[in-house]
Amino acid sequence: MKYSGEPLVVLENVNKYFGDLHVLKDIDLAVGRGEVVVVIGPSGGGKSTLCRTINRLETIDSGKITLDGLPLPQEGRALARLRSEVGMVFQSFNLFAHKTILQNVTLGPVKVRKVPKAQAEQEAMALLERVGIASQAGKYPAQLSGGQQQRAAIARALAMRPKLMLFDEPTSALDPEMVAEVLEVMTDLAREGMTMIVVTHEMGFARSAARRVVFMADGQIVEESTPEEFFTEPRTERARDFLSKILRH
């Protein structure tokens, strides 16, 4: 959880509209190397949009985003490289259904990083081992549980050797008994020093892995604090109201 030096990701004064809807309002956020930031907040607040702007799945209307000191590329090769440097894991696992788990994990390294197939397979097996599903390598996604599929999706993202991992509600589509196995993989990753931005309402994860909680509502960062502070003494009415709702259910 320690981090140092220049921040890896910096958003300055970022604004984003969908038509008339102002979905990101003057967002300022810097994420240090090795830092884990949990983003939390009500539905429609802009959490997914924020993640998507960081790997440029969405463009921004004004402001600036840098990764490793460089502005996000607009297009072409540089953009492809950015996508490989920023791993993303979604709520829906987004694995290729007609490819085995091993093929899902080796595809990017072979195609984008030009890693020889045998080496890619070796690395993929090590990653599958790390997320606890090496025995499932030859199966197709539909033959795996949701938790196993999500761990495969994490392994696939890691295979690109990303500098940053974005997680957008990675456990919210999972049955409760599978949530823990995915959070455990994420907690290990955090401990190993991966820089992570994680949209989640899992307070246990936030408390054990995050250095900072960012509370977003209506396109703004309303509150930023340590997990401990945020969950025990939220400063704003908005955050208190949100927490009372998620704690109740």
Ligand X SMILES: Nc1ncnc2c1ncn2[C@@H]1O[C@H](COP(=O)(O)OP(=O)(O)OP(=O)(O)O)[C@@H](O)[C@H]1O
| Chain residues that interact with Mg ion, rule: CB under 5 A | 47-48
Tell whether residue 47 is a contact of ligand X (CB under 6 A): yes
Partner whose binding site includes residue 23, from ligand X, Mg ion, none (CB under 5 to 8 Å by kind): ligand X
Stretch in the footprint of ligand X (CB under 6 A) among 30-38, 44-52, 93-101, 145-153: 44-52
Partner whose binding site includes residue 162, from Mg ion, ligand X, none (CB under 5 to 8 Å by kind): none
Smallest separation (angstroms) from ligand X to the CB of 101: 27
Tell whether residue 245 is a contact of ligand X (CB under 6 A): no
Site string for ligand X, 11-30 (x = CB under 6 A): -------x--x-x-------
Q: Determine which residue in the list 1, 6, 44, 116 makes contact with ligand X, applying CB under 6 A.
A: 44
Stretch in the footprint of ligand X (CB under 6 A) among 25-33, 41-49, 94-102, 129-137: 41-49
One-character DSSP codes across the chain: ----SS-SEEEEEEEEEETTEEEEEEEEEEE-TT-EEEEE--TTSSHHHHHHHHTTSS--SEEEEEETTEEPP-SHHHHHHHHHHEEEE-SS----TTS-HHHHHHHHHHHTS---HHHHHHHHHHHHHHTT-GGGTTS-GGGS-HHHHHHHHHHHHHTT--SEEEEESTTTTS-HHHHHHHHHHHHHHHHTT-EEEEE---HHHHHHH-SEEEEEETTEEEEEE-HHHHHH---SHHHHHHHHHHHH-
Tell whether residue 43 is a contact of ligand X (CB under 6 A): yes
Partner whose binding site includes residue 138, from ligand X, Mg ion, none (CB under 5 to 8 Å by kind): none
Which C-beta is closer to ligand X: that of 159 or that of 210?
210
Tell whether residue 48 is a contact of ligand X (CB under 6 A): yes
Partner whose binding site includes residue 18, from Mg ion, ligand X, none (CB under 5 to 8 Å by kind): ligand X
